[in-house]
Amino acid sequence: MLSSRTDGRRGEMAEVAPRVACVGECMIELAELDGGRLARTYGGDTLNTAVYLARLGVDVDYVTALGDDPFSNAMLDGWREEGVGTGHVLRLPNRLPGLYLIRRDACGERSFFYWRDRAPARDLFELPETPAISEALAEYGLLYLSGITLSLYGEAGRERLLQALEHAVARGVRVAFDTNFRPRGWPDFAQARSAYRRTADFATFVLASTEDLELLFGNVRPMDVMPGSEAGELVLKLPELACRIFGNAVDEFVAAEPIAEVVDTTAAGDSFAAAYIAARLQGAAPVMAARAGHLLAGMVVGYPGAIIPRESMPAAFVKENANA
């Protein structure tokens, strides 16, 4: 698979297979079933993207911190089975991963309830191992993180993450940033706006939604608040099941095909990001990458939960469309 290396010029692609690192948090997921029963699995926005990237043939690692408990062990086993690398997952003794519960309404829209204040992932950039993790990030071809990633850490930890991004970009690493804004994770919106702008300044790919940007910045032009790097592109997801792509002399509207039945919208954006990035790393044009993203997201919302069965993945079809 073709990929990117910038050789000192951000955004210019070279035919080198990149390694991708997704940074964030994975939690225990509980989903309500009929009769008050619960189904347990795991999920998290950047982890979902990592799994779908791996299924699309991308060499991807997940960078986070977990506990030393059986649930953390099960997560690691599951990620490895999916082909996601775990060499930069820290293990903290006597700690448990975060937990969230999903409730879905009749239209498939979901509400989340979290128990995560003591989750190990929140300490990733405030540990003795943090300098080694920060240096390791500069060895990848592309780093992927989200607005939820930024919200995990306190001010000191977030500053260390941003410094790590700056160091990585100076080494030629590209950054993909999904805005994925959750107001509950940000008691101070001014801090959120600053962190978002600084992260976008490093990014080659910014994947945003009008809903995210309006919640955080109000009624402003997306390019005024999420410009990305000079050589980058902004993929703006719109309410009408479409996206608009800006950047590099591109201004394109790409609509999704109608979806017959929406079961669960969990991970729709995460899977879109995975297919878009995978296609771009394969050399697809932005429009074709967006079509691949719509295709995979449309499949994902037809299943309950964040990760669809592996046998249901339209991987070959996604690749075929991306390279059309």
* Pairwise CA distance, residues 228 & 144, whole Å: 14
* Pairwise CA distance, residues 146 & 269, whole Å: 11
pLDDT in tens, 151-171: 999 999 999 999 999 999 999
Nearest to 56 by CA among 322, 267, 298, 250: 322
pTM recorded for the entire structure: 0.89
Question: Based on the number of CB atoms within 10 Å of its own CB, is 19 exposed (0-12), middle (13-18) or buried (19 or more)?
Answer: middle
* Pairwise CA distance, residues 55 & 278, whole Å: 10
- Contact status, residue 112 vs residue 100, Cβ threshold 8 Å: yes
* Pairwise CA distance, residues 151 & 166, whole Å: 18
pLDDT in tens, 230-255: 668 999 999 988 999 998 778 999 99
Average pLDDT estimate for 24-52: 91
pLDDT in tens, 65-94: 999 999 999 999 999 999 999 999 999 999
Active site residues: 270
Average pLDDT, the chain: 88
Q: What beta strand segments (E) does 87-240 contain? A: 89-91, 99-104, 110-115, 142-146, 174-178, 205-209, 233-238
Helices (H) and strands (E) in the chain, counts: 11, 13
Ordered structural domains, the chain, with CATH: 19-322 (3.40.1190.20)
> Please, what is the Cα angle at 153 between 151 and 169, to 5 degrees?
85
